[in-house]
């Protein structure tokens, strides 16, 4: 029996310990805001926070996340929208939107580490997250705007 905390809810799980966290969140818990894109940590669609830091849930087993605090897009903000989400909305970032949960989770994590990220910081922090619609220009602008607001 593994114990894991997801969005402030402590849970126990007795299924396959190798089950990736992504599928635990999506198929077992029904938290479908976190997306499947590649299964190999190549695209970032599955990004969630583990103890506040961005991880790829598609290659993190439930057993590896046991005892940790997992936060998904559904619970990223305690009060209304997170400033990153607000800027995503203000800059009309999403097109199809499928990758954007992961992009937002990655961006929040980046801004925690680098509150005033340079272009290189943004490239470094965000290049693991693929957007096939090509919203990168707006993602960059939204991150800079969120950094400005946070500061």
Partner 1 sequence: MSDNILNVSRRGFLQGIVSTGALVLSVRMIPEVLWAAETSAGSHADRAVLRPSVFVGIDTDGTVYLVAHRSEMGTSSRTSVPLILADELDADWKRVKIEQAMGDPRYGSQDTDGSHSVRDGFTTMREAGATARLMLTQAAAQKWGVPVSECESDLHVIVHRPSKRKAGYGELASAAAKLPVPKKEDLQFKPKSAWRYIGKGTSSYDLVDLCTGKAGFGMDARLDGMVYASIEHPPVLGGKVKSYDEKAPLQVKGVKQTIPIKPFTPPHHFQPLGGVAVIADNSWAAFQGRKKLNVAWDNGANASYNSDQYKKELQDTARKPGKVVRNIGDVDTAFAKGGKVIAADYYVPLLAHATMEPPVALADYRDGKVTVWAPTQNPQAVQETVGEELGIPKENVTCHVTLLGGGFGRKSKPDYAAEAAILSKAVGKPVKVVWSREDDIKFGYYHAVAAMYMKALVDEKGKPTAWLQRSVFPPIGSTFALNTTYGDAGEMGLGWTDLPFDIPNHRAENGPAENHVRIGWFRSVANIYHAFAAQSFANELAHASGRDSVEYLLELIGPARIIDVKASAPDYDNYDGSPAEYPLDTARMRRVVELAAEKAGWGKRKMGKGSGMGIAVHRSFLTYVATVAEVEVDDKGEVKIPAVHTAVDAGTVVNPEATRAQFEGAAVFGTSIVRSGAITAKNGVIEQSNFHDYPVARMNEAPYKTSVYMVDSDAPPAGVGEPGVPPFAPAVCNAIFAATGKRIRELPLSKSSANT
Site for partner 1 in 35-54 (CB under 8 A): 35-40, 42-43, 45
What's the closest the beta carbon of residue 49 comes to partner 1, in angstroms? 13
Residue 136: burial class (beta carbons within 10 Å; 0-12, 13-18, 19+):
middle
Please say whether the beta carbons of 110 and 121 come within 8 A.
yes
Closest distance between partner 1 and the C-beta of residue 83, in Å? 12
Q: How many residues bind partner 1 (CB under 8 A)?
A: 73
89 touches partner 1 (CB under 8 A): yes
Instruction: Please report the beta strands in the chain, taking only residues with DSSP state E, as ranges in sequence order.
Output: 2-6, 9-13, 47-50, 53-56, 69-71
Q: How near is the Cβ of 22 to partner 1 at its closest, in Å?
A: 8
Please list every residue from 110 through 129 that binds partner 1, using CB under 8 A: 119, 122-124, 126-129
Q: Does 10 bind partner 1 (CB under 8 A)?
A: yes
């Amino acid at each position: 029996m593994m114990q894991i905390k997801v969005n402030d809810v402590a849970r126990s799980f007795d299924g396959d310990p190798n089950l990736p966290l992504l599928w635990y969140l999506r198929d077992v818990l029904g938290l479908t805001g976190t997306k499947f894109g590649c299964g190999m940590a190549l695209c970032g669609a599955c990004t969630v926070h583990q103890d506040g830091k961005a991880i790829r849930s598609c290659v993190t087993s439930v057993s590896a996340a046991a005892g940790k605090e997992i936060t998904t897009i559904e619970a990223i903000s305690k009060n209304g929208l997170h400033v990153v989400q607000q800027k995503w909305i203000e800059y009309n970032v999403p097109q199809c939107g499928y990758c954007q949960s992961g992009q937002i989770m990655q961006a929040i994590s980046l801004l925690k580490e680098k509150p005033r990220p340079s272009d290189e910081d943004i490239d470094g922090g965000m290049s693991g997250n693929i957007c096939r619609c090509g919203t990168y220009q707006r993602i960059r602008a939204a991150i800079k705007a969120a950094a400005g607001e946070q500061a």
